């Protein structure tokens, strides 16, 4: 048979919930969404916080905290969260005596930190599973709405109401996000995945309004700041990192023509004021990327990013002589 990759969802409960999270982190390019129901997110915290009677049983099955901690940490989805790309629904009971609710809390928080759309539903009157009819109805209605939003909706256009990154159902975007997410995971300079998603959403709106190529501008938005994170300090000239950008796109299965268009957008999107250069964008898609990136340096978000950038690189907020690179100079 044929599987539509834009509607391929992993869903499971308890150990099956762990398998959902493992699937989304180990094979991120395969999934449009995931539904984790009372699942284990971190085997170390699970074993530390579950009941004493259950710990003994589960250590015999999974490995012990005393002897197998390194292995348990290596297979825990929370420790591989940098690879997750698909939207996630997390369902749990506050009074779960088997898999403590902290497992749900931490996976939801860590996934959100990566810029992944997350919906979390915790019932304060449930345990390991959802047993009350009213709660079941509520839970499955919410899950259906979540899956409808993430896997069934027409992916074009992406509207401002969408809570996270790209709407799934578009394999190039999902695969590219999975290929590059780990590069941005440790960024604290305001060029992280949250910035990438905001730029992505702007490019999609502009492309729809102007009739530009949504695939080109979307992929370009996802990779446009790789030059910032591929080298310490303030990053490299984006034109010097087109080979790395091309490799990331090729790993994600993007066709050669699109790779060429995307690398051009990335190479010319930066103002390059320090080098006295300002290359003409040449294409409408390159102009869209530049404008979307510049808009994310304005307003309250721009102020927050300026402080983050200066703190990450040890820069002063402003140098009145203009002789030293400053945080505000970067964003002006």
Please name the residue that has the structure tokens 């305001």. 190
Q: What is the pLDDT of residue 309?
A: 74
Residue of 207, 211, 243, 238 whose CA lies nearest to 224:
238
Structure tokens at 298: 């304005």
Residue pair 86/31 in contact (Cβ under 8 Å)? The answer is yes
The number of angstroms, rounded, from the C-alpha of 144 to the middle of its chain's C-alpha atoms is 22
Confidence band for 6, pLDDT divided at 50, 70 and 90? low
- pLDDT tens-digit readout, 52-86: 889 999 999 999 999 999 999 999 999 999 888 88
pLDDT of 330 higher than 90: no
Task: Work out the average pLDDT over 178-201.
Answer: 78
Residues 6+ apart with CB under 8 A from 139: 91, 121, 123, 130
Between residues 5 and 226, which one has the greater pLDDT?
A: 226
pTM, whole model, 2 decimals?
Answer: 0.54
pLDDT of 41 higher than 60: yes
Q: With b meaning 16 or more CB within 10 Å and e meaning fewer, what string describes 9-26?
A: bbbbbbebbbbbbbbbbe
Which residues does residue 89 pair with via DSSP β-bridges, in sequence order? 35, 119
Backbone phi, then psi, for 120, in 5-degree steps? Answer: -120, 135
Backbone phi, then psi, for 123, in 5-degree steps? Answer: -95, 125
pLDDT of 157 higher than 50: no
247-to-109, 218, 260 alpha-carbon distances in Å: 30, 17, 11
Q: What is the pLDDT of residue 113?
A: 84
User: Domain-by-domain residue ranges, the chain?
Assistant: 5-152, 171-296
Of 120-134, 189-203, 282-296, which range is least confident?
A: 189-203
Mean pLDDT of the chain: 82
pLDDT of 271 higher than 60: no
Residues 6+ apart with CB under 8 A from 286: 220, 264, 265, 268, 269
Q: What is the pLDDT of residue 78?
A: 96
Q: What is the DSSP string of 219-257?
A: HHHHHTTHHHHSSSTT---GGGGHHHHHHHHHHTT--HH
Of 39-48, 83-92, 225-234, which range is least confident?
A: 225-234
Of 3-12, 44-53, 132-141, which range is least confident?
A: 3-12
Task: Work out the average pLDDT over 189-205.
Answer: 85
- pLDDT tens-digit readout, 97-148: 999 999 999 999 999 888 788 999 999 999 999 999 999 999 999 999 888 8
How many other CB atoms are found less than 10 A from the CB of residue 298? Answer: 11
* C-alpha torsion angle, residues 60, 62, 67, 68 (rounded to 10): 170
The CATH T-level fold of domain 171-296 is Hypothetical protein af1432 (1.10.3210)
CA end-to-end span of the chain: 53
CA dihedral sign, ordered 11, 13, 17, 23? negative
Q: Which CATH superfamily is domain 5-152 in?
A: Alpha/Beta hydrolase fold, catalytic domain (3.40.50.1820)
Q: What is the pLDDT of residue 2?
A: 64
The CA distance from 281 to 328, in Å, is 24
Residue of 81, 84, 99 whose CA lies nearest to 38:
99
């Amino acid at each position: 048979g044929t599987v539509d990759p834009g509607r391929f969802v992993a869903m499971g409960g308890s150990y099956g919930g762990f398998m959902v999270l493992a699937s989304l982190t180990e094979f991120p390019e395969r999934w449009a969404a995931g539904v984790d129901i009372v699942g284990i997110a971190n085997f170390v915290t699970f074993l530390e916080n579950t009941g004493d009677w259950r710990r003994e049983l589960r250590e015999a099955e999974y490995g012990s905290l005393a002897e197998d901690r390194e292995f348990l940490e290596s297979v825990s989805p929370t420790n591989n969260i940098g690879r997750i790309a698909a939207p996630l629904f997390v369902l749990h009971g506050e009074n779960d005596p088997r898999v403590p609710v902290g497992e749900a809390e931490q996976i939801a928080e860590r996934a959100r930190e990566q810029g992944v759309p997350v919906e979390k539903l915790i019932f304060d009157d449930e345990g390991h599973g959802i047993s009350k009819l009213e709660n079941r109805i509520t839970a499955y209605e919410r899950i259906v709405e979540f899956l409808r939003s993430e896997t069934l909706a027409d992916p074009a256009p992406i509207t401002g109401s969408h809570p996270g990154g790209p709407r799934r159902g578009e394999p190039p975007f999902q695969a590219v996000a999975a290929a590059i997410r780990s590069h941005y995971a440790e960024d604290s300079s305001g060029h992280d995945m949250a910035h990438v998603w905001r730029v992505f959403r702007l490019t999609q709106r502009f492309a729809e309004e102007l009739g530009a190529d949504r695939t080109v501008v979307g992929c370009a938005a996802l990779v446009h700041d790789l030059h910032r994170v591929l080298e310490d300090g303030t990053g490299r000239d984006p034109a010097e990192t087109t080979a790395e950008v091309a490799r990331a796109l090729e790993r994600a299965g993007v066709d050669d023509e699109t790779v060429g268009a995307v690398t051009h957008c990335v190479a010319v999107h930066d103002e390059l004021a320090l080098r006295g250069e300002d290359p003409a964008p040449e294409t409408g898609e390159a102009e869209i990327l530049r404008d979307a990136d510049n808009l994310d340096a304005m307003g309250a978000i721009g102020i927050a990013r300026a402080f983050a950038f200066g703190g990450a690189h040890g820069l002063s907020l402003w140098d009145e002589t203009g002789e030293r690179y400053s945080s505000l100079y970067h964003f002006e």
